[in-house]
Each structure stands twice: as C-alpha cells, then as structure tokens.
Structure 1
C-alpha cells in the first residue's frame, strides 16, 4: 500500500541532508533489532558513520557547522546536529527520554509494514542522492529558474512547510542580504502567500527609512508572472494602501502620477519605463502593472548569468538609494508618518494543512526548551477550535501559563504587538466591572484590562489577527461573579455577514460621552479573540460551577515527570514567519450549532451522541448529566479531529471524557461511588486485562484503584487517561470521604 501523506511530505522542506540520513539510520537499526523502539545512541552512531564514510571516500556532503571534516567535529556539536532533524520529524518520530529510545509514533508505526519501510527507505535514498548532487554555491540565476520551473506544480501541493515557502521566506532573503551592497538599512522579504499560494510570488528589498511593508511606499521587488513565463526585477510602489484609501480609479491616478515623478527623478539604467509588465489579467497583478516605475524582464529559460543579474540589481539598488535620500532630505516627516492599513480578506486553510502547522508550533515550543506530553498541543488546539474558552488546571509550576504564551507566540501573538495579554486575576474581584470597566465620577468610562484588548482586536486592520487572553489564577476570585457577563455574551454567538458576532458587553448606560460611545459602543467578543484561564486547585481557590464548566474544555496538568530534561536543540526545522502570516480562521470555530456540521458529519455525530447517552444515564443519579451545549461542543471537537486527522477516534473521545464530563463529578454519597465504578468499567472497555464488578467493589474498591498506584504499570484501557483520573477520584472518595475532579 502507498505511504501515508504524513510520510511522503517529510522531505519537502530540506534541512540539509540530515533528515534523509536520520531516517535511513533509524530504518537500519529497526531492521537490525526487529523492535519498534531502538537505542537512540545506536541511531546517532549510524548517522555519524554515514558522513564520516562519505568524506573518507572523497564525496561531497554537508559539513558540520564551522568544520570541514566530520571527524573534527566535537561530540557536543554532533548532539545538536542530530537533534535538529529529530525535532523536525517529531510529528512522525518519538524519543523517549526515560529509556533513551527512538521510534515512529504508534499511529505511524501501525501504517509501516516491511513493504512501506522499503518504500520509505527508497524515498530517503532518492532524496539524499538528489540533494548531494545539487550541492553548490548560491546562484541567483539557478533560484529564479527553479521558481519558474516548480511553482505551478507546487501550487497543487500542501502549502504549509513547502520547500518553496522556505526558499522565499528564508533562503533567498538570507542570500541577498549577504551581498555587499545590501546593508542593514534594507529589509529583504519574500512571500508565496498567506495560508494559500499567491498568484504572484515576490521577493522584495525595502529601505527601512521609508517603508517596511509592500503595502505602501517604494521598494525593489522581483515579481513572477502567474504563468511562470517570466520574472521581473522592478522598481515599484505599494498598491494596497493607495487603492484602499482612494478607491481603485483614484488610486490608479495617484500611482501613475507618482510613477511619472520618479521616472523624471532617476536614471533607471537599462530599465523599461512602460506598463507592459504582464503578470496576470486582473487583480493585484494588474495593480502591479500600474504601480511599476520601471522593470527588467527575464524570460524563463533565458535568465542571464549571475554576473549580469547582480549588475542589474546593483543598478536598481543605486537608483533606489538616491530616491530614498532625496525623499528623506526634502521631507523629514515622511519617514515618521504611519500609514493605516485596511483589513485584507482572510482565506481559510485547507484541512490537510493543519497538522503541519501544529508540528511547527510544537517545534517552536521545543526551541524554547519546553516539552509537553504527546498530543497535548493537538488537544489544546482542538479545544480552542471547538469553543474559544479553555481552562488549564493543575498544580502550580507545571507550565500552564507557559503553554498559552508559547502557543500564542508561535502564531505571532506576543505582548509586544498586543496580541497576547496576561491578565492576573485578583482575589478581590467581585463583579464584571473589575474585568470590563466602570464609569467614574466624571461620567467617563474607564475600560478594564480585557476591554482594552477587545477594542484593539475589533479594529478593521486587526480583525484577521489572532488575539489570546490568558486569565492567570482565574479562580482566586469567584469566576461566576466577575466573569458572568463574558460567559453570557459567549452564548450569544451567531453568524452575521459571514462572521461570528455577539451581543454587546458594555451597557449603553455606562457610555455617556460621544467619545466613549464611539470607542466602546457595540463592543462584543470579536471572533479573533480566544480566552484561556489557568487555575490552581488548592485551599486558597474557589470551585467552578457547572455554568462555567459547560462552556469550556478543562485541560489537566497534574501528572508530572520531573525527569523530562530540555533537549539540546540545533538548527530547528520550520520557519516561524510562516505561522505569523496565519489569519484568525486557523483557530476560529467553523460551527456554532450542530446543524452547521450535521449533514457532512452525520455518522460521527450520531456515534458520539450514542456514547454520551450511555454516560448520561449514569450521571443522572448524581445530577451531573450534560445537556445540548456539552453534546455539541464534544461533537465539534470530534469533527475537527476527524477532519484534520490528528488522533484516532478513541483517543479523541478519551480527551473529551476527561475534560468535559469528569470535571462535573463530585460528592460523598454511595451513588457517586457507583457512578465512578461504572465509568471506570466503561473506560476500560471490552477485552481488557481488568474486569470490573460494580457490586463487588461498592464496599471496598481498593483492589481496583490501586492498580493505578504510583510505580505500577496501569492496566490496558480503551480510554487510559479517563480511567486513571477516575481511579484517583475513587481513591480520594474512599480515603477522604469526598471526591472531586479538582482535588490535586
């Protein structure tokens, strides 16, 4: 059978030859031992042996950083080098730090028989040979021809993590910045699109004294024709802002006027000064034809040699330098003028792109020296996707706040740009005014910390950006008191004009002045805002009501392995710039009511609902059963997981059972014991090594829950995480006379 797509795409983004050699080394060790997990040290030895042997034969291979020969590289450096491809392939490989073994993730391993391993080995060998044959110095001619030869076919492939994306965003900017005439005053930036392939890919050189964006100002840019028949080196102007501010007709008049002024000012040596640049027939490509001051055309298959290309670029940059110096000397204020950009259209991602993006987020987190359990990031993402309010619970110091910060940071939401906000909850918060704001004695509205973020997020230029709000230590005060308005407004989400909108958060009675009405009037919870609360459960905090639990997924951080050490990270695969270009649709919900998804996912919805009906029958005895809101949220989670292919169905339902059902259970009665035992029986499943007899264990359940005691290997279960938590809750009930999900 063919290799799964997750495997066939692993070499699309080249990370030197390291990934290919790592895969070949792992396959050799797997065959030698006939085990699913093998010694990480043995794989490292095979990895190093390849490069040593190739260099001894006189073959050209990737050199270790700062060294010409692999035999001269220190051991500490070798660890960094192999960690780089291991982290780049973390979506298919798993390293167990406890026993120092490496192997494929279980879901990947199940798809790799001997035939598939042979296919993977052949693929790695082919890629390795091709890569080694192509080792050469930077060639601008080679790269321009490469783009024109490959871009059209690349547009049919997955956008995320594609090699051409790396070429435009990282490789080419890095190579151009190394040229002696491109100094620090210039920003070099390339793009193949934001979330989807661009019609006209580009590579721009911008003088930071007048602009750092291609939306306005003047810059030098390589533009590729849509049909890849030619690439143009151009002196150009930003088209987005002028057309948005003036309209297309007046914008064109303005651009043509500026074009004529610049042509009269500069020599523009050997450049064409007309509108015969042909990119596309309509759209932004047509805008470029109007905004282009001058250009040089290079036809596919006839791109001149590097010497000529570099000389052309030198001439254009010199004209650009003279222009910038003229502009900045005649108008000092122009350099400081801020041009407000209007919102762009947000394009949704394809389902198959999501898993690659999540792997890049995981890689970013590892680069910061943090490690979270397998599938926790996928679970966190699915929880946010199902509902824009998530609770992270557990003992102090387990990385709850850090997870939110790093996840947000990977997507370009930071404190510096205002898209990530950490709001510490105070114990004295007693009503929504503490969070939302209040009217002072002068009659002016004083916004609360969350209101300031919501106002910023709904600005037209920001409405496609991701905003994350972390309410730290959320239950130091009673959540229902200060957060009640937010919870109520969350329930008013509805589709309006293709976007999710809510009722107003700020009462009109608080907005007396025209300024306040303009700033805060009609303020709901924008669809690009996501709320995460962190909670520590101890004697100093307040419990949650079912009203809160119904509206959130509760991720638990109580099971800690202190022997997880930071991995030594080398050059990590994945370009963070690709993630910062994502729009809010990556996280925003696609469904608000079950009817939105029922027709296309009927079988999964029915199957999931039937599971919940059986569980609800048990929960009714202790008045902990769930309603339609919880059912819909769980179904949405299961649908997203199925669409994106992140986990198998049983594992996904295990997460939902743990996060949406178990937090509702607490009490001291025998009926609670009966429910816990019945749920454990349900989570263990048929054919497991443990049989549960509810009646026999009603008086003493210790023979059951002690099987999950520390240091023991727990029994195999259909839903292992939920079974472990239920065993803990059952033990607390017997030993303390009371139990709750929230006891740590």
Structure 2
C-alpha cells in the first residue's frame, strides 16, 4: 500500500511535533466517531491528551508555550485554540477547516480514495515521523517494555470501570507501546504495529500486534505476532498467531479450528520456533475469542504478572519471535501458494459492513423513501424519532387508535433494512387476551418434560446464532395490551435491565435457564438463552375499554410513540422516477445501542449530559408532587437519545427533548386531584417556555386548550398539545390520563 502523493512529504519540514500529533488526533477521532469530518473541539482535546500522555510517561515532548503554562498537565483545551491553528494551516494541502461548522476533514481528492488501509498507513507514517523528530531533538529515554506490560496488567481491570474514550491506558496500548516497538532495531519499517483495547468499549482481551504488510495488514486473517493479555490480567502471552475472524466466517467454527491447527502444524515444519511452546495451553478466557485465539496460536511465550522477566529477557524473546516470523514471511512470499482450495460446499457468511455515523441521515432518508414508495405517509420526523428510540433501547411502544399504520410502520421500517418475514428477520406475534405468564411467549414444558418453545424463543435462537449476530431482527408484538403486559412480559422486562458488554456484544441474564430443562437436546438448544443485542421488540397498543393500562415498570423501559393525529385527506402519491427504492441488508451496528450506562458517555459529553439532566431535574420536581417522578433509568435513556440525535444530526435539539418529554415523562401522569392539575399547569409552563397565571388557571384552564394560538411558539409544541388535551379531559371528565382518547 502506498500513501497518496499529498501525504508523502507533508512532514518534510517540521519545527515542532504539532503536525504529526494533529494528524494522529484527527485519525483517532475519525476512527472513534466513524466519520470523515470531525469537530475541531474533539480533535483539540485529543491533540492535548497526546501531548499530556507523553509528558506524564516521561517521554520527550515539546514544551507548551510559556503563555499557557510550564507543563502540558496544567493546560486546558481552550488555552490552545491559537496554538492548534498553526499545524492546521501548515497542513492546508491535505486538511481542510470548515469555519462555519468548526470541523476538520481531509481534502475531497483524498476522501474520494480514502480507505482503512490508507488511514492505518498514514497513522504509522505520522508515528514514524514523530519518532524521527524526537530522536533528532534529544536523546531518547529508555522506556521499559516490562514497565509497559506491567502497567497494562495492573491497571486494566480497574480501567474497565471508567469511561472508554480518552483513557490514558488506551493511549498507552494504541500509541505509546507501538511507538516504542517501532524503535527496536530488529523491527523492520514494513512491519505494521497496532494496539487495541476495544472499539467503543473495553475489550475483554487487549492486544498489541506486529504484522508484516507482505502477508497481512489486519488481525482478522493471515499470520502475525501479538501480545495477548488474559482477561483477568494474570498473564500476557507473546504469540505467533493467525487471524481467526475471516476463517470463522468462511468455514464455520468446527472447520475453521481444523484449518487453523493444520496451518499451525505447517508453520511448525517450516521454522524452528526454538524456545517457544507449541501446545494450546493458553488461558485467556473460558469462551468466545479466548477459545478462538487458543486454536489459532502457532507458538508462544507465557509471562505471569507476578514473575515478569527482565527487559533483557523480554526483548530477547521478542527478537526470537520476530526472526522466526521474518523467516516464515520470506518462505511464504517466495514459495508458490500451497494452501488448500476452499471447500465448495461451504457457504460463506456475508460480512456486514461497518456503520459510518455520517451515513445515518442518508440511511434514514432511504428508509423514508422506501416507505413513501409503498404508499404510506407518516408525520414529519416520525422515522427519525422511531430510529432514535430503538437505538436508545430495543423496546418501543407504538400507541394510537386502530388503523393508523402502527404495525405497518414496523414492517416497512424492517423491510427497508432488509429484514422481512421471508428471511425470518421480521416476526409478527399477535398477543392473546388469555396470556397470563411468560410461558405464552417463551414456551413451556409439556407433560413429558419436553420443552415446547414459544414463537419469541424461536426468533431469539436464530438471532443468537453466530452467523446471524450482525443482522437485526424485529419482533412486532401486535395488540400488546390485550393481556396484562406485566404478566406475560415480565421476564423480558427484567433481562432488559441486565445488559452488559462482553466480547464486543451486549449480553443479558438468561431468559431460559439450562438447569430448568430436562433433556440434553433441550439444554443444548435453549439452555441459558439470552436476549441478543440484535433483537428489537416493538409493541403496538390501542388504548380503549378492551385493553389494559401500562404500569410504570413498563413505561420506564420504553419510549411510547403516539399515532393519534390522522390526516384522512392524505392520498398515495405516484411513485418517484428512478424505479422502486431497494432495501439494503443493514448491519446490526446501525441499530444497536452504543451505551448502557451514563458513565459510558460522561465526562466526554459533560455539557450535553448536564444540560439535559438540568431540564429533567426541573420536570422531576414537578412530578414529585404527584408521586410520578422518574429515576436514573429514565435520566440515562433521555441522555442517550439526546446524544445520538446530536451525533447524527437528525432533529433540532429542542424538538428531540420535546419528544422525550412527550414519550418518557408525560405517560406517567394520571389522576383526578387538584395536585395533578397543578402539575400539568407547571408542565405547561415548561412546554411553552414562559410563566403562566397558575392560580387563575386552577379555576379554569380552558384558555389553554380552547385557543391553540396560546400555544403558538411553544418551546416544546408536541408536549404542549398533549398537556392541553390532558387538562381538557381533567376539567370535562374529572379524570385525566395520557392514554385517554
């Protein structure tokens, strides 16, 4: 791979390190945000973090300007606004500053040919030039490899309890250690060194890989050297290993393991691997990637944390592995390909594309176009809201009068993403009035003890299959409240709160416990079945005399989207020119939540979280008077919704909060007392964004719901309309509820 020409000499003239550090900061933010255009404020913060990290580790670093402080650790982001403009201007041939949006991006010519490989090579080019710069400036301090490995093993478990983004340990593994290894005389220039502590969330097994570009530039396939850390940080393994991702997808687990062991034996016959262990006695984790790494290992050294050898021994071992690796690469690149042909009977698993947040608005527009072409029209921004709700939490309720298109919305939304009833990624489950416990949904044991799975369980089993984990599955629970939701849906409500990250997936507590099943076949098929992170539950409800109301337990866990405003004069339009929009199979990353706890987004998004929480505190004070206030679960969900909206730029921020007030908070309000009316009037003040004569309106609030012009220019117009409706019901009927139609 060769860098595009504009990058070749971009660091040729450097008086300070800032150009290289800026490029590294931009690349890291592009990778973390999955965008090609990134905010200057975030780049500035990462730029400063890199300089602070070098200073903290005792590495050579340019001193900060005297005007901002003697040490980088004392400097704050806003103080380097002027400083960072210097490297931005110096890199104007490759890097563009959009002053109106305050974003940075590479030039259009470079973006047109951009790829992950180019990003990785540019990152290494910048690191190499940064090392060369510091080598020329002053003698390089000797930094201990032993010290670095020990630091990871002693701090990683605790680090996983803290926010992922910007953590110093991530900088150590991703940047500092690779830079130090690049300086070793036996590491060739064509070798790519990459460290990882996860993507967006902490990995169970962090690693640092050394790859020869002639045979691989990715840890997903080929052969490379890699330090693998045990999940409990009790040991680190220096291994000659093979990529497992591609073989697993192409061959399936059983055949992939056979292939990897056969290839390991072949490598044993080619190179001596003197002093290295060649068994499979690697203890990383009990399952998942730990087993995959174990099967793929060719040879290794094991280092226990409590008896880590000296730097001299660690470097001697690394040189030995590198020498063997070089020998293998030379043999592999000079000899004809002797690998067996792929088995024609194996069906390769389609690799799902990564989700780029910059494309999400376009994806939403494509969904809207698909739905319009099918002859259905929904209120403005409904699709954006529906997507943000599912992204925030995979349980959404669509409420409204019969015949408004609730079920059709779910079906068409799923279809637009390639999920249909034909490929079993969309399932409609009609709820029956006699459902009284989870067995009606999940399944039951018959008189013989054999487990009879429910329709939901069948979907969960298929969605949990490793070959399907990248595909979204949509389940529509039609007429969800014909039976009491708390009775038949209780297990699902509970496991939704048990979500946690594990090996890059979101996992939950089991829905069906293995020990509860009698036969071995049932235990293998359904034992410890969880709610996979690629399953999205959407319920439709009609609120009338034939249905049951929702408890706060249900409302806390879902966004409730209403369908009560109908335009009967809206007619299907002629199909747009250009043919029927095509549905594209979407990756589950498009739908899956990125965050599970507020700690995942704080303090990197402190301002948004504090502003959103401040609004919720005000509203909670009103709701507390009628015992309808909310807890941390709703606070976190609203913050996630607002953050996704800010990241993807789908709705105006006030419009987004309006929907959260409408969908997460107002459904909790009901009653007939004067305190309920007073709370509604105070909520109306919030929705209108101005003070009201509450004492006068306590006698007669008809002006608020009788004259819609009084709600003109409301800060939160949809919430104001709903509150007016609830006030009218209270005054006319003596009782009010969000749900009365």
The TM-score bracket by the shorter chain reads: 0.5 to 0.7
- Which of 438, 455, 464 is the aligned partner of 1:458? 464
Residues 497/414 of structure 1: CA separation in 2 closer, same or farther (3 Å cut):
same
Asked whether 1:240 is paired with 2:246, we answer no
The aligned counterpart of 1:424 is 430
Q: Does residue 1:736 correspond to 2:733, yes or no?
A: yes
Superposed counterparts of 1:704-715, under 5 Å: 704-708=704-708, 714-715=711-712
Please report how far the alpha carbon of residue 475 of structure 1 lies from its aligned counterpart in structure 2 after TM superposition: 0.1
Q: Which residue of 2 aligns with 1:367?
A: 373
Structure 2: distance between partners of 1:657 and 1:531: 22
**Distance in structure 1 (CA, Å) of the matches to 2:667 and 2:487:** 20
Does residue 152 of the first structure (1) align with residue 113 of the second (2)? yes
- Say if 2:620 is the partner of 1:616: yes
Superposition pairs of residues 191-590 of structure 1, within 5 angstroms: 240-241=250-251, 244=256, 246-247=258-259, 339=346, 341=348, 344=351, 348-572=354-578, 576=582, 579-580=584-585, 582-590=586-594
CA distance, structure 2, for counterparts of residue 644 and residue 416 of structure 1: 31
What is the Cα deviation at residue 341 of structure 1? 4.4
Does structure 2 conserve the Cα–Cα contact (< 8 Å) formed by 1:389 and 1:530?
Answer: yes
Asked if the contact 2:249/2:467 (under 8 Å) is kept, the reply is no
For residues 153 and 608 of structure 1, the distance between their equivalents in structure 2, rounded to whole angstroms, comes to: 36
Aligned to 1:137: none
Quote how far apart the aligned CAs of 1:150 are: 10
Equivalent residue of 2:427, what SS? strand
Say whether the 8 Å CA contact 1:608–1:635 is kept in structure 2.
yes
Q: Match for 1:681 among 685, 703, 712? A: 685
**Secondary structure of residue in 1 paired with 2:399:** strand
Q: Encode CA deviations 1:346-382: one digit per residue, 9 max, x unaligned.
A: 6642221111111111111111111111111010000
Distance 1:244 1:539, change over 3 A: same
Shift of 1:622: 0.7
Displacement after TM superposition at 1:570 (Å): 2.7
Deviation at 1:239, TM superposition (A): 9.7
Change (3 A) 1:625 1:239: closer
Cα 1:424–1:239 change in 2 (3 A) is closer
1:343 and 1:460 in contact (8 A); partners too = no
Please tell me whether the aligned partners of residues 396 and 539 of structure 2 are also in contact (alpha carbons under 8 angstroms): yes
| Distance across 2 between alignment mates of 1:438 and 1:586 | 34
Q: CA deviation at 1:427?
A: 0.2
Residue of structure 1 in register with 2:697 after alignment: 697
Q: Distance in 2 between matches of 1:605 and 1:444?
A: 50
3-state SS of paired residue (1:523): coil
Q: Is the 8 A contact 1:663 1:742 kept in 2?
A: yes
Whole-angstrom distance in 1 between the partners of 2:515 and 2:115: 56
Change (3 A) 1:574 1:627: farther
Aligned-pair CA distance for 1:455? 0.5
How far apart are residue 571 of structure 1 and its match? 3.1
Distance 2:718 2:340 in 1: 60
Structure 1 residues 717, 398: closer, same or farther in 2, change over 3 A?
A: same
Q: Could you tell me how far apart the structure 2 residues matched to 1:545 and 1:564 are?
A: 35
DSSP 3-state at the match of 2:538:
strand
Q: CA deviation at 1:496?
A: 1.3
Question: Gapped runs of 5+ residues in structure 1?
Answer: 1-115, 117-147, 159-225, 227-237, 255-280, 294-333
What does the per-residue CA deviation read over 1:539-584, in whole Å, with 9 as the maximum and x for residues that have no partner? 000000000000000000001111111111133589635x31x211
Q: Are 2:654 and 1:650 aligned? A: yes
Counterpart Cα distance in 2 of 1:239 and 1:386: 29
Task: Return the alpha-carbon distance in structure 2 between the equivalents of residues 428 and 363 of structure 1.
Answer: 39
Separation in 2, partners of 1:246, 1:342: 18
Matching of residue 663 in structure 1 with residue 667 in structure 2: yes
Partner residue, 1:234:
none
Instruction: Give per-residue Cα distances to partners, 1:607-638, cap 9 Å, x unaligned.
Output: 00000000011001110000000000000000
Listed one character per residue, the Cα deviations across residues 625-666 of structure 1 (whole Å, up to 9, x for unaligned) are 000000000000000000111112101000000000000000
Q: Retained in 2: the 8 A contact 1:422–1:470?
A: yes
Pair 373,252 (structure 1): closer, same or farther in 2 beyond 3 Å: farther
Query: Would the alpha carbon gap of residues 156 and 245 (structure 1) be closer, same or farther in structure 2, given more than 3 Å must change?
Result: closer
Q: 1:240 to 1:251 in 2, by over 3 A?
A: farther
Any idea what SS the aligned residue of 1:464 has? Answer: coil
- CA distance in structure 1 between the partners assigned to 2:491 and 2:115 by the alignment: 48
User: Alpha carbons of 1:239 and 1:670: their partners in 2 closer, same or farther (altered >3 Å)?
Assistant: closer
SS of 2:543 mapped into structure 1: coil
For residues 118-142 of structure 1, what are the alpha-carbon distances to aligned partners after superposition, in whole Å with 9 as ceiling and x for unaligned? Answer: xxxxxxxxxxxxxxxxxxxxxxxxx
Separation in 1, partners of 2:380, 2:454? 37
Task: Give me the whole-angstrom Cα distance separating, in 2, the residues matched to 1:239 and 1:503.
Answer: 27
Give the aligned partner of residue 720 of structure 1: 717
Question: Are 2:513 and 2:528, in contact at CA under 8 Å, matched by a contact in 1?
Answer: no
- Distance change in 2, residues 1:353/1:701 (3 Å): same
- d(CA) in 1 for partners of 2:698, 2:639: 33
Aligned length: 445
Residue in structure 2 matching 1:599, options 592, 598, 603: 603
TM-score with structure 1 setting the length? 0.55
CA distance 1:157–1:739, shift in 2 (3 Å):
farther
Is the Cα contact below 8 Å between 2:560 and 2:664 reproduced in 1?
Answer: yes
Divergent runs of 4+, >2 A: 148-158, 238-254, 288-293, 339-344, 507-510, 570-577
Residues in 1 aligned to 2:249 and 2:424: alpha-carbon distance in whole angstroms: 27
Cα separation, 1, equivalents of 2:250 and 2:451: 36
- Give me the whole-angstrom Cα distance separating, in 1, the residues matched to 2:478 and 2:613: 34
Instruction: Quickly say closer, same or farther: Cα 1:290–1:400, change in 2 above 3 A.
Output: farther
Cα distance in 2, alignment partners of residues 675 and 373 from structure 1: 29
**8 Å contact 1:707–1:715 — kept in the other structure?**
no
Higher mean displacement: 561-570 or 467-476: 561-570
Contact 1:393–1:555 (Cα < 8 Å) also in 2: yes
Higher-RCO chain (CA-CA 8 Å, sequence separation at least 6): 1
Whole-angstrom CA distance in 2 between matches of 1:697 and 1:514:
67
Say if 1:476 and 1:540, in contact at 8 Å, map to a contact too.
Answer: yes
Q: Can you list the C-alpha shifts for 1:444-502, whole angstroms capped at 9, x where unaligned?
A: 00001100000010011111111000000000000000000110011110111221100
Give the whole-Å Cα distance in 2 for the aligned partners of 1:149 and 1:481. 57
Distance 1:725 1:569, change over 3 A: same
Q: CA deviation at 1:340?
A: 5.1
Residue 673 of structure 1 and its aligned partner are, at CA, apart by 0.5
Inter-partner Cα distance in structure 1 for 2:408 and 2:571: 16
Conservation of the 8 A alpha-carbon contact between 1:684 and 1:716: yes
In the alignment, what sits opposite 1:119? none
Classify 1:413/1:562 alpha carbon distance in 2 versus 1 (closer, same or farther; 3 Å): same
